[in-house]
Every structure is written in structure tokens, then in C-alpha cells.
Copies of this chain bind each other. A is one copy, B any other.
Amino acid sequence: MNEFDFIKRLRGQAQSRRHSTRLITGIGDDGCVISESSGCDLIVTTDLLTENVDFLRGVTPARLLGHKALAVSLSDIAAMGGRPFWSLLSIGMLRDQWNSNFKDEFYEGFFELADHFGVALAGGDVSETTVGIVIDSIVLGEVTAGVAIKRSGARPGDQIYVTGNLGGAAAGLKLLELGFTVRSPTVTEGSDADTDASASPDQAKPRSDGDAIQGLLLRQLRPQPRVGWGIVLGERQLASAMIDLSDGLSSDLNHLCQESKVGATIDAAAIPLDDDVKHLCGRRALDPLALALHGGEDFELLFTVNRDNVSRLPKAVDGVSISRIGEVSDDSGAVRIREKNREWELQPEGFEHFRE
């Protein structure tokens, strides 16, 4: 049994129970949605990060790990169309890490991102472990009652969009595995838009290999959650379905289609590829399209829009633009990709725990 089959079964077990007080959306979406009966719905999400699986300790500066721990959960709130307000963080570490600067730098990175989005650290847990770093990140947000954007709302004919560009985080992971490391000065540059390669894809300044490598490492180590886009799409009720790209486009689009009981056809040429990946491709054996399709952790938003709402979409939010990559079909469960003259079924090949 793989991760997704297990979650499906768990969801069935949870749903079979009678007690689900004001629970609008439970297991099976980016976050759960609880009715607050005051014009607002509460969204709660949690993400577990452990060493070797979600991050490589030796090559991940503590400050960036603090950033990423919060970023992945902010991305989930965004994917529900919500506005994040509160965070709880559970962290376990070895005594050696406790006695080093690790915990201070970790929280510096965490607070930097939290402050950027006005999110309060409301609670958490601190624990000693015998096995290394373990983090569980919890974020709570809100959305106007009834407008949380689920994975299940896509309808045939809806247009499919992604924010930013894809493939950079997966390329960054490959570079880390090849031994490249992030330059330490960059670590302290904060989360300014100008250090976020994806925020200004059309920048004209020539980019060296070194800059491109650093840009990709940061795409992996310091993901930028699309909080602004999440809020806009939620408040203006523009998206019919949404998911964040954590596992990879091929897998996440598949999740969305399964939940919506629809299919999709996407256009390979329309997929926005990361400039740094394009810059390095060939030289570093990076295949931009494969990384964009199956590489995970870009933490961009993938969403569907009814044709009538397309004209109401903003061009950009917080400097991040969007790309139309395809259309929802009524061919339930089938995700197809068109490249030049051929078209084939896109298998979900993104990240998966306990792959069989």
C-alpha cells in the first residue's frame, strides 16, 4: 500500500464516523476546513519534516530550514484560498544541536518569514530526540465562510493555471546532491523579492552559471509560498479548484483531477520553466520539462478557473505572474500532455512516500 492509498483508506475511516462537528473538509485536501459560524471558516494544515527525507541536514543552513518549515504550511493555506494568521511549531533535535546555534538560527529564519506575512507563533512543542531533527509545522488561517478552494471543484472546460515557474526546486535538489552548497552571504539576504528568482522571470541582467546555481539552490532551500495569490483567488472566488505543487505537477494535477472526477490536457510548450534550469540545461544534464513535470517542492499554486472568470484574473500578485497550461476535460482521471504533434498520458511520477 502506498502513501496515497493509505490516506484514502484513512479518510474513509474518518468519514465513516458520525462525529465531525462543523468539519467542512477533512482528510484529502491541502488543509482541513472548519466552520467558525461567524462568517469565517478556519483552515488548519500540518506538515512533518524529517532529516534525510524532507531535508539534508549537512547542506541545509538552519536559518533556511526555519524558513522552509513555515513556508510549506503557508503554501497549504494558500492552496485553500486562505489567509494565514497563526502558527504552531513542534521541533525535536539532538542535544548537540540544542547546544549549538542551530535552534537560534532556525527560529530567526522562521520569524523572518512569519513577520513577512504577519503570522504569529502561537504555540508548539520542543523536545529532545535521539534521532536528529524532526519538525512539525502547523498553520491556521481563515477564509470567508464557504469559499475555501478545494481540490474537488474543477469542471470540464475550466482553464488550468500555475503561478511562477516550475522545475527549479527539483534542480536545486539535484545540485545539492551533486555537492553544490548555498553561499552563506545569500542566506542572510532575507526573503526580498529580488532574491526570489521566480518572482521576476523576465529580468534582463545576464546570469552566470554561479548565479543560476545559487538561484536553484534557494528555490529548493527557501521556497516562496504564494500567500498573496492564495488570498486573492480565495477572496475574489476566482478558482474552482486548487492544490499546491509539493509532490510535482504530474502527481498534483492527478490528485486534483481525481478529487474533481475530471481529466485534463496540458500543453507542454505552455509550462513555465525556471530560467535558471533553462540556463544550465545541457551543461548539467538537467531536463527542464521533466523537472517541471515531475520535480516537487516548487510550492507554486496549480488552479483551475471557469472560462467566465478568466478575464477577472490579475496579471500578477506580489510580482508573481501566472501561466495558462491547459484545460480540464471530462475524461475522468486521464491527464494528457500535448507536445508538438504528439499527445500522451501523463503518469504521476512526482514524490511519494512509501512508493511500492
Contacts and interface: CB of A to CB of B under 8 A. Distances in A.
Contacts of A13: 107, 111, 121
Nearest to A27: B123
A223 B120 CA distance: 32
A278 interface: no
B122 A44 contact: yes
Interface in A301-356: 353-354
B27 A124 contact: yes
Interface stretch (A87-95, A175-183, A192-200, A280-288): A87-95
A121 B6 CA distance: 14
Interface stretch (A128-136, A147-155, A263-271): A128-136
Given A44-B122, A85-B21, A134 B50 contact: yes
B90 A47 contact: yes
Contacts of A42: 36, 42
Copies in the complex: 2
Q: What is the size category of the interface that chain A forms with chain B?
A: 35 or more
A25 to B, nearest CB: 8
A188 interface: no
A173 interface: no
A32 interface: yes
Interface stretch (A51-59, A234-242, A248-256, A290-298): A51-59
A6 B103 contact: yes
Interface in A21-62: 21-23, 26-27, 31-32, 34, 36-38, 40, 42, 44-48, 50-54
Given A20-B122, A23-B86, 14 more contacts: A3-B128, A10-B121, A34-B140, A37-B38, A44-B88, A44-B140, A46-B136, A46-B138, A47-B90, A48-B91, A50-B127, A50-B130, A128-B353, A138-B138
